[in-house]
Structure 1
């Protein structure tokens, strides 16, 4: 039994390393779209074994859905790249469509919550963060075409609406995080129109906060809202960490998640892009509503004396202390922007 567990861990680390190696150099650094296609295929083929290492019905279904969608996106990408010389006007929109499909951006988001629902939390972290890097780099290159900026803005608006409305009635935490990722994708797509540095900054903030939440869910082994409420009864420290994470993910000031949104809002106002801004802000309010649905429970139903009297040094492991330090650091990070 220990041999199987050790073998599974080694296999998981191997495929994770292979999955990360395709960023050095990234597939977008290739001089041709054929090289880009090869890099994306290597990325896909290294992520699928991560899903199917522990084979069961849910992992198999998620792996099959992910493979079919990514294969369809790769087909569109290689077909549109071959059309560059013959149909220069039609090829860039098809390339952008294939990247939207691989990214899980609206209106091609239908697969993302379904795949996310069948993954473990470590796999969900990779799908929500690392798997988005290469398509977004390629979209940033395509944003140099003025005709494609309207399509990117339209996809951002649809992603904002879909991510906000899709997470309202779900009780599954993985599906909720999937729709949250779709909503944040709208902000990142609009950030691409500014500069590479800007969307990378937003992506780093989003990845840090989302990964922190999912790591906590992995430690607690919670997959539904009812599981999350039960964990609050035994570990009062979660009443501090979980609300701070969700409020930061929702972009509520003065939490860390508000910083990149604030920067993007300022740019959209200065550029007179009021229509996308209205949709982004409206969707942010809706997502904040179903984040508050979780945080209010912790604030109202937790005994304050439990938090005051808890003894971290005797009760919690090093990983939990490290996670608490990270969350408190992220909470205090906006103060640096006020003093410096």
Structure 2
């Protein structure tokens, strides 16, 4: 169990806050939902009396409080200056989403979290702000702004993840990069971004649960893990390739659909930056995978443990989602 049973109430209020935000008919109601969501997540961060967790909780609280203050004041401003208030609400939501150029807090907060909290912060915590962002896509200037910020997020997410040794920071910059793809999908006015979000969440769930089981936080930890086996290394490699969107893994399917959509809408310049950033992110995933490939060499596999496949059935189940993309061509051949 990722969280103690006594913390189930906080998970419930966390999801309830997102639902209140999404279903609200006013900006004030959306703000109440976001506040409930934030105040439920902070106890989940500081599960243990640890200085790292406390620092991450404090950083998260200060940034989210700033975003919430900006959000509610902009909501009241909409009574007088509607368009200006929409711009400020838009910027407040970008701060909450950790989209570039407001991404500075995200890797630092992620560095102080455990893997279950990393998953929550990268997925469920971003759901409500993204849906509120999609409500703003009624003005051509805001649509152009979100395309510009998505290009910026793609570049920052790609370049920020280079030469990092900490897995949580790599996942943080990867999340910023994936955010750019979802923001482009939001700008097209299509509900397709939700499909991308669900696929991304499931891939990230398999990665974070695997790292949680291994209790690894750096690349050296990952290499020296006592539970390392050939199957582990292959599955972790496939997970990262799927997260990078390499065909034929599952992570490629939403990117493929979004590329087709962007070509149809003549969004060639944003598409160029997004594809370039996807190549760079794939490079820093390959840095992790190459180490596993080297350790598969019999001369160098001093730390690998040979285990039966039956002991890793739970691991196979967690990562099986990434192989749906491998089965898709067979499905189309049968049709």
Could you state the TM-score of these two structures normalised by the residue count of structure 2? 0.92
Cα separation, partners in 2 of 1:232 and 1:149, compared to 1, 3 Å: farther
**Aligned position for 1:16:** 11
2:309 corresponds, among 280, 291, 312, to 312
> Quick check: 318-327 or 237-246, which moved more?
318-327
Cα RMSD of the aligned pairs, angstroms, is 2.3
Cα separation, partners in 2 of 1:267 and 1:321, compared to 1, 3 Å: closer
Alignment of 1:150-165 (within 5 A): 150-165=144-159
Q: What is the DSSP-based 3-state SS (H/G/I as helix, E as strand, rest coil) of the residue aligned with 2:188?
A: coil
Cα separation, partners in 2 of 1:249 and 1:304, compared to 1, 3 Å: farther
Q: What is the DSSP-based 3-state SS (H/G/I as helix, E as strand, rest coil) of the residue aligned with 2:203?
A: helix
Matched, 1:255 2:249: yes
Cα separation, partners in 2 of 1:183 and 1:177, compared to 1, 3 Å: same
Alignment of 1:181-330 (within 5 A): 181-231=175-225, 234-303=228-297, 310-313=307-310, 315-316=311-312, 319-329=314-324
Matched, 1:67 2:61: yes
1:83 corresponds, among 73, 77, 85, to 77
Q: What is the DSSP-based 3-state SS (H/G/I as helix, E as strand, rest coil) of the residue aligned with 2:224?
A: helix
**Aligned position for 1:173:** 167
- Whether the 8 Å contact between 1:92 and 1:142 is mirrored in structure 2 is yes
Measured in 2, the distance between the counterparts of 1:330 and 1:117 equals: 31
Q: What are the Cα deviations for residues 195-224 of structure 1, in whole angstroms up to 9, with x where unaligned? A: 442000000111111111111100100000
Measured in 2, the distance between the counterparts of 1:56 and 1:250 equals: 33
**How much has 1:136 moved relative to structure 2?**
0.3
Q: What are the Cα deviations for residues 291-332 of structure 1, in whole angstroms up to 9, with x where unaligned? A: 11111222232148999x75222x34x533432544445653
- Whether the 8 Å contact between 2:106 and 2:172 is mirrored in structure 1 is yes
Cα separation, partners in 2 of 1:277 and 1:57, compared to 1, 3 Å: same
Measured in 2, the distance between the counterparts of 1:141 and 1:335 equals: 38
Measured in 1, the distance between the counterparts of 2:261 and 2:323 equals: 29
**Aligned position for 2:110:** 116
Q: What are the Cα deviations for residues 268-297 of structure 1, in whole angstroms up to 9, with x where unaligned? A: 111111110111011000000001111122
> Quick check: 325-334 or 267-276, which moved more?
325-334
Measured in 2, the distance between the counterparts of 1:172 and 1:327 equals: 23
**How much has 1:87 moved relative to structure 2?**
1.1
Cα separation, partners in 2 of 1:43 and 1:251, compared to 1, 3 Å: same
Cα separation, partners in 2 of 1:324 and 1:84, compared to 1, 3 Å: closer
- Whether the 8 Å contact between 1:140 and 1:196 is mirrored in structure 2 is no
Cα separation, partners in 2 of 1:253 and 1:325, compared to 1, 3 Å: closer
**How much has 1:337 moved relative to structure 2?**
5.5
Structure 1 residues without counterparts, runs of 5 or longer: none
**How much has 1:194 moved relative to structure 2?**
2.6
Could you state the TM-score of these two structures normalised by the residue count of structure 1? 0.91
Matched, 1:141 2:138: no
Matched, 1:97 2:94: no
> Quick check: 83-92 or 169-178, which moved more?
83-92
Structure 2 residues without counterparts, runs of 5 or longer: none
Cα separation, partners in 2 of 1:166 and 1:85, compared to 1, 3 Å: same
Measured in 2, the distance between the counterparts of 1:330 and 1:271 equals: 25
- Whether the 8 Å contact between 2:203 and 2:321 is mirrored in structure 1 is no
Q: What are the Cα deviations for residues 78-125 of structure 1, in whole angstroms up to 9, with x where unaligned? A: 111111121122111100000000111111000000000000000000
Measured in 1, the distance between the counterparts of 2:128 and 2:227 equals: 41
1:132 corresponds, among 121, 126, 146, to 126
